[in-house]
Structure 1
Amino acid sequence: MNRFRVCLVAMAVLIVVTGCTRPDRAATADATIDPMVSVNTLLPAPEEYARLRIGTAEAPIPPWTKFLRGVKIVLDPGHGGDAHRRGFKRGPTGVREAEMNLRVAQYLRDLLVHVGAEVRLTRETDVDLSLAARAGVANEWGADIFISLHHNAVDNKPEVNYTSVWYHADVDHHPANLDLARYLAQGLYDGFPMPSFTDVPLKSDQLMYPAGFGVLSNARVTAALTESSFFSNPAEEQRLRDPAYNLREAHTLFLALARYAAAGLPRVQLLEPSAGVVSANGGPVRLRLDDGLRGRKSWGFARQMILSDSIVVRLDGRRIPHAFQNDGYLLEVELPAGLEPGTHTLDVRFQNMNKNSVLNPRIELRVEPPAGLARGRGGRSGG
């Protein structure tokens, strides 16, 4: 009996000693992973995390979000496919911007689709895309809105943490870009506030590069780029790992877009010539304006909700006269004679009563070469 007890004690000692002196294989493996090239740096999130919370206190759906129905939106989660680049777009402990961008975009997509918006993402996985390809998704689809989702960083200033939203070129380039950027910035200020702020949160991308951001300069639709917060801030980096925090950001952007849509998204439609082919001798072009509000048939809808003085029409950058009538929201412009064969751009701008500008104001017109000239260029046929 005593010998049996001695054996048991010896075995126990052996196990304890072995356990204490043997390296922990898992710990050793983890210790060899360089956090600055790691992947899956966010906290795990259950499947359907955002969808299961839609309509709850975490993601309420106000009634005015219904105005997003039918709006075509492309979301671009910035970066991706770059984990091999040591330290690239990472926070102090290695959390990747590409991953937080993607999760926020996916949660935002779930919210938008819930209320009837049409949404596409430029990427669904951790892949690299060119800036032109990202904008191309919106251009080719004919999107109403394009948003590139990012988070910011700065070297050697860990205390910095504020929101900025970027538009392309100057303020006259595409006024609707300013509308989109303004609603996004104001929404982030209200629902996703940072400890500090920049006095003017709307920034031109030409402050960074003379040609601007490629993802915005290539967009032919209303576009903006968000930098919601700074992942170079140590505390913010850790918050951005949390799915609840990601959902909060996505919901804030969702409400901002809903407010934008609720204020009316103006559009312009070419009526005549319907195919966009015009004479080299000029002539009339008829268009219909849509303020984004009248079609709701709310009380007073027959009254004019377009600011008359805001209507400006340019052909290839040169201002041309127009005539507008409230009945039917019809706009007629007279093209000048002497138009060269080829493509010409008609730019039609106006604002509705909420000061929202035309989403995508450019219409392409085409002047065909004279029949004789066309035959001459084709050469002779037959004998």
Structure 2
Amino acid sequence: MKVLVRKGDTLWYYSNLFTIPLNLILDSNSTIKPTELEISQEIKIPGFQVTPYQLKRGDTLWKLATERNLPVDALLLLNSKINPNQLPIGETIFLPKRVSSPVVVGKKAYTFDVLLKDINDLKKIYPFINIRTIGKSVLGKPLQEIKVGKGNKKVHINASFHANEWITTAILMKILNSYLLSLTNSVSIKGLSTMPLYQQTELSIVPMVNPDGVNLVLKGPPAETRDLVMSLNGDHTDFTGWKANIRGVDLNNQYPANWQIEKERKEAQAPAPRDYPGDAPLTEPEAIAMAELANERRFDRLIALHTQGEEFYWGYERLEPPESQDLAAEFTKLSGYKAVQYIDSHAGYKDWFIQEFRKPGFTIELGKGINPLPLSQSDILYDKLVGIFLASLYM
């Protein structure tokens, strides 16, 4: 929601008027000097939307404000030209509406277009989040990073490295929405106050690493690559088994962490729906973008979301730091997922991150069943993951 500054207004006053933490208002208006507000200057108020309202007989600003648990001046701020003592029946005014329910609907086919809409909707309601494009997919889709908070601790979470594991994006976006709601409404998640997490942690989320692949699984082949993907898929029109990017390269086998071992032992020795690690490490634009992101930001910990197994992997070649074990124990306690230190696997994003930075890295395998996991598991997956999400921020 946007308001125009009046004489005497301050950001602190807006914080009290709308019961929104001042730091969220400051972060939503980071280019503005709070001590130098100008009359008619536009200010973003997070956690609110503006709704039109047609005046009815008997309406007063006091009555309308009371019904919305807001001071009358909150209405006057949005309707500076009206006379509060003479409200014409039938005239349209604008009312501030606190957002208290999610905008992300996780229980649906979560295509790239759905993701972009949800990101845009969240940005409008929560302008203190930052969105940037870190790279592009093979077909030119922007790989979006969402940043929340400005703390010294840097935590990164990603989803949908694998195309038919797209439900991880839906669950992660739902958790992000819960986090943003808790910040603007000053409510806890699982009994934990989230404002301290916001203040101490910079959260980075790349919710869909493989947008071309996700769309292929959910929508079928795009015209520009139809012949290629149909050929790689044995001319079958069912792409539910597809894990790779649109060129048939498994993005989570693309990293220079004993890549050659994976290359030699993989059954797929050419582009395929799954398991082909490419002709060399970091050949694919999606994998390159994720490596550049980690090199640029130097995260303190990393979580990669996948599906199958209700377990997670937290070590690599004995290069993980001691704090990884403490985090793993907490993740197990909160989710019930089995903690596995080592598996016979290489070239993954988590593997490379641990090798390169000697920081805690985790591959979380959500749920059990057949990929893509059914949407009927969404609530269970959310409940299991939200504890891990919170622990990754506060520990």
TM-score range, shorter chain: 0.3 to 0.5
TM-score normalised by structure 1 residue count: 0.35
Q: Which of the two has greater helix per residue?
A: 2
Structure number, greater radius of gyration: 1
TM-score normalised by structure 2 residue count: 0.34
